Homo-oligomer: A and B are copies of this chain.
Amino acid sequence: MSNTIGKFFTFTSFGESHGKAIGGVIDGCPPGIEIDETFIQNELNRRRPGQSNISTPRKEEDKVEFLSGIFEGKSTGAPIAFVIWNENQRSADYNHLKDVYRPSHADFTYQQKYGIRDYRGGGRSSARETAARVAAGAIAKLGLRKIGIQINAFTSQVGHIAMNKTYEQIDFSLIESNSIRCPEPETAEKMIAYIQQLKDEGDSIGGIITCVVKGVPIGWGEPIFDKLQSRLAQAMLSINATHGFDYGKGFEGVALRGSQMNDEFVKDGDKITTRTNNSGGIQGGISNGQDIYFRVLFKPVATISKKQNTVDIHAQEVELEARGRHDPCVLPRAIPIVEAMTALTLMDLSLMKI
């Protein structure tokens, strides 16, 4: 269970990596939103494998097909169902993994929990599932865009290589200018070189994605348990391979004192704003009108080409060498996923603020 997220704008995800299709159903989408299919497809293309030589060469069209909820190009308030047909699966690549518990994958826990699992391509636990999130998130983005909300995520750190600029200093238009999606070009180059090196070594690396949301009105986020940061954290930690979340100054600001951290209120013409934004746009779990920014930590991809020791379902110790196609670093493809989960979360909270 628990394949649905959201309370009013809900998204239900379905599908396995090598089954017939993945897809989803959005329920609670307000009527009258123009469903720009080109935009949605473009979001899926950003997540698609095979975009550069630092991502997997697997080819997936990831063409989304809408089944319901749209009439004459607009949402009707009825559930929007869509499918993305699976193609180019090479399930035979996974036959040798049928019985093996790959280290730091979900094979073991799924098998123990359910007693049965579709092992092909990771089945339900595959990150392929996130394509459905990107499609749904794109619809949420269309809804948010109508009221001026912009979501931009980018790679801010790969392994030990981190950006120097803060989010206020960067030019978002540079994000898509390189294959790692880091808006600091000289740092991007180092990141890419490092990933290439690890790929050659048959290894993998993780890093950090920073996400910035501009234009969220004051008042989104529900006390006590649907605080804006609670819901963002839940959404982010539901993405495959994520291991951490912080917002505002975050872990890097742990040494700041109250007098340094507090955001004083000031007048800006008729409006009330804050002098600083160390809180990341959220106070008491509710948006305060400032930019919302947060970071999401991704661990290195668990699939590596290096030889590993492990155990199979017959409790025999075995050696494992990955043969499937995989990414040495998920970050560039994870960026549209982080944005999508952000959009789904905000869209839901927007309907709770009534």
How far is the CB of A40 from the nearest CB of chain B, in Å?
A: 16
A351–B353 Cα distance when bound, in Å, is 10
| CB pair A68 B22 closer than 8 Å | yes
Name the contact of A27 in the complex, choosing from B3, B22, B218 (C-beta under 8 A).
B3
A154 at the interface (CB under 8 A from B): no
Identical copies of this chain, number: 4
Name the contact of A117 in the complex, choosing from B68, B76, B221 (C-beta under 8 A).
B76
Name the contact of A261 in the complex, choosing from B113, B275, B280, B299 (C-beta under 8 A).
B299
Residues from 88 to 139 in A contacting B, C-beta threshold 8 Å: 101, 103-106, 108-110, 112-118, 123-125, 129
A231 at the interface (CB under 8 A from B): yes
| CB pair A81 B14 closer than 8 Å | yes
A304 at the interface (CB under 8 A from B): yes
A142–B219 Cα distance when bound, in Å, is 25
Q: What residue of chain B has the Cβ atom nearest to residue A202's Cβ?
A: B259
| CB pair A254 B297 closer than 8 Å | yes
A238 at the interface (CB under 8 A from B): yes
How far is the CB of A9 from the nearest CB of chain B, in Å?
A: 8
| CB pair A19 B68 closer than 8 Å | yes
A145 at the interface (CB under 8 A from B): no
Given A237-B245, A261-B299, A311-B272, are A112 and B78 also a contact pair (CB < 8 Å)?
Answer: no
Given A81-B15, A227-B237, are A309 and B264 also a contact pair (CB < 8 Å)?
Answer: yes
| CB pair A238 B225 closer than 8 Å | yes
Residues from 292 to 351 in A contacting B, C-beta threshold 8 Å: 297, 299-304, 306, 308-311, 315, 317, 351
Name the contact of A258 in the complex, choosing from B71, B204, B219 (C-beta under 8 A).
B204
Residues of B within 8 A of A260 (CB): 300
A249 at the interface (CB under 8 A from B): yes
Q: What residue of chain B has the Cβ atom nearest to residue A83's Cβ?
A: B67
Residues of B within 8 A of A300 (CB): 256-258, 260-261
| CB pair B218 A109 closer than 8 Å | yes
A245–B245 Cα distance when bound, in Å, is 5
| CB pair B203 A258 closer than 8 Å | yes
A207 at the interface (CB under 8 A from B): yes
Given A219-B113, A223-B2, A238-B227, are A266 and B317 also a contact pair (CB < 8 Å)?
Answer: yes
Residues of chain A touching chain B, judged by Cβ–Cβ distance below 8 Å, are 1-5, 7-10, 12-16, 19-23, 25, 27-28, 30-32, 65-69, 71, 74, 76-81, 83, 101, 103-106, 108-110, 112-118, 123-125, 129, 157, 159-160, 198, 203-208, 218-219, 221-227, 229-238, 242-251, 253-267, 270, 272, 274-275, 278-280, 283-288, 297, 299-304, 306, 308-311, 315, 317, 351-354
